[in-house]
Amino acid sequence: MTRFTWAIVAALALAPPLVVRAQEPAGTVRDQTVEDLPAHPGREETFGLCTACHAYRLVSNQGMSRERWDETLTWMTERQNMPDIQGPERALILDYLATAHPPKAPSRTGGFQNPFAPQ
């Protein structure tokens, strides 16, 4: 074998442990499973649909009204190629999103709220 071939063999021999370590870096936040989510009707359907493309954390980090979730679904469909979910299935998913992830700081005044203002 040439020196070059040995270099490839050595690289392959070293590669697997690197891959294993890359999957579990210390301190990684475990991604959510369906059981971690608030139990309401539509939980499995919503989790399955959204995690086809991205971590559910992208969804659960948000808090929105049903209307804003509806706009998000339209955006996912039009710009991110999400299947166009309509009818009762869309209603179920919107109900779940609005119930499990409502707006985080409901504004009583409807306007800007100073985040540094004393509560």
- Interface residues with ligand HEC (CB under 6 A) are 46, 49-50, 52-54, 58-59, 62, 72-73, 76, 80-82, 93, 97
Phi, psi of 4 (to 5 degrees): -65, -45
Angstrom distance (rounded) from CA 47 to CA 93 = 9
DSSP state of 33: -
Sign of CA dihedral 40, 42, 48, 54: negative
Residue 37 or 49 with smaller CB distance to ligand HEC: 49
Residue 9 or 53 with smaller CB distance to ligand HEC: 53
Residue 42: CB minimum distance to ligand HEC, A: 10
Residue 15 or 74 with smaller CB distance to ligand HEC: 74
